[in-house]
Amino acid sequence: MRKLLFLFFLITSTFASTLSFGAKTRGDYTPVYTMQLFSAKKIATINNAMKKIPKELKDETYIYKVGNYFAIRYAQKGSYKEVQPYVEIFQNSGFRDAYVQKTTRQHILDNKIGKMVPMSQTQKSQGHDKKSLQKQTSKKDARSTNTPMTTTSTRPTVSKFVNSNMVLKADNAYKSGNESEAMMYYEMLLASGNTNQKVKNNLCYLYGKRGAWFEAKTVIDKEQYQGKLLYSYAYGAVENNQQDYYLNLSPYIMLDRTGMLMLLTGSYFEKREDLERATTFYKMAYKKNKSNPYVLYSYARSEDIQKNFKQAQELYKKVLKSVNSAHPLYNATQQRIIQLGDL
């Protein structure tokens, strides 16, 4: 998550559907979402796992060949939200590593095998037949972390490998600005039992940018009023000037002891050109947190705009005392103090 104060400073101041290469026919590269349930190298393991798919979901579940592995995947939908509700169903059915992934229709078409892996694709070259494969894998694969578990009443957690893979994909999408994909993986991480604070912070920030207060509140309420998650949501909401920011967060603003929600609320009203209310919240933030340079600077600037120059200059001087020359606020503050001169 971007650092709290630096982000506030910044706040204030069709994918191609077809491709063609050479003489090859055009492919359908429209993005689709599917759920990876299970993967293994051994065909007997895959065929046995397919038998454990819930009856009502079998029609949309297929086996795919991916590199040296076979994978069981459910559905191919046009959006993440169409697939995501089934994650918990499959996890509770024993597929604890189930997660949604983004692919293309062409990839689905090129790699789909069917409901069972044909025996022609077994390891005949190594002299194995169906019976020997099942015998060899029955003990070893039963202990494997990749083998579907029996249904339990507790929330399943994905393996460390899948968890690390989703974290990597989420962070890469987040850093590259692919917010929808980042949200998808962060949501799956939370659903699988991941408790990492960074995951929650980033997700709430992205919810804020979308104005998805209901989804964010669900995460925040589970933390029993976790201030950092509120700040994360607020940053995103103010950054994108969400219409309902104040309506949603007003019950929390007055309870915030750090003054940071008041600071962000001041920025919200300033962006809406309601300087009177902006100044009120900047002043409230100052009373809560007189040592924070961003609180000082915002309050000083609002007084400056309203031509309360003496008060503004005093606040600007406090800003300089609280930062060093490398701080982002230093140059602008020093320049404005010089411009105001002796009052």
Kindly report, residue by residue over 156-210, the tens digit of the pLDDT: 566 788 888 888 988 899 999 888 888 888 888 887 778 889 999 999 999 999 8
209 φ/ψ angles, rounded to the nearest 5 degrees: -65, -30
Do residues 233 and 204 lie in contact, with contact meaning Cβ atoms separated by under 8 Å?
A: yes
End-to-end CA distance of the chain: 41
Residue intervals of the chain classified under CATH 3.30.70.1070 are 27-143
Choose from 26-30, 51-55, 187-191, 231-235 the range with maximum mean pLDDT: 231-235
Structure tokens at 125: 């070259």
Is the pLDDT at 239 greater than 80? The verdict is yes
CA–CA distance, 171 with 216 (Å, rounded to integer): 19
Residue intervals of the chain classified under CATH 1.25.40.10 are 160-340
CB contact set of 66 (below 8 Å; sequence gap of 6+): 39, 111
Query: CA angle, corner 235, sides to 233 and 241, nearest 5?
Result: 100
CB contact set of 149 (below 8 Å; sequence gap of 6+): 94, 96, 156
Is the pLDDT at 132 greater than 70? The verdict is no
Burial of 6 (0-12, 13-18, 19+ CB in 10 A): exposed
CATH of region 160-340: 1.25.40.10
pLDDT band at 225 (very low <50, low <70, confident <90, very high): low
Q: Check: CATH 1.10.940.10 for 27-143? A: no
Is the pLDDT at 144 greater than 60? The verdict is no
Quote the DSSP letter at residue 254.
T
Residue among 137, 112, 110, 113 at smallest CA distance from 123: 137
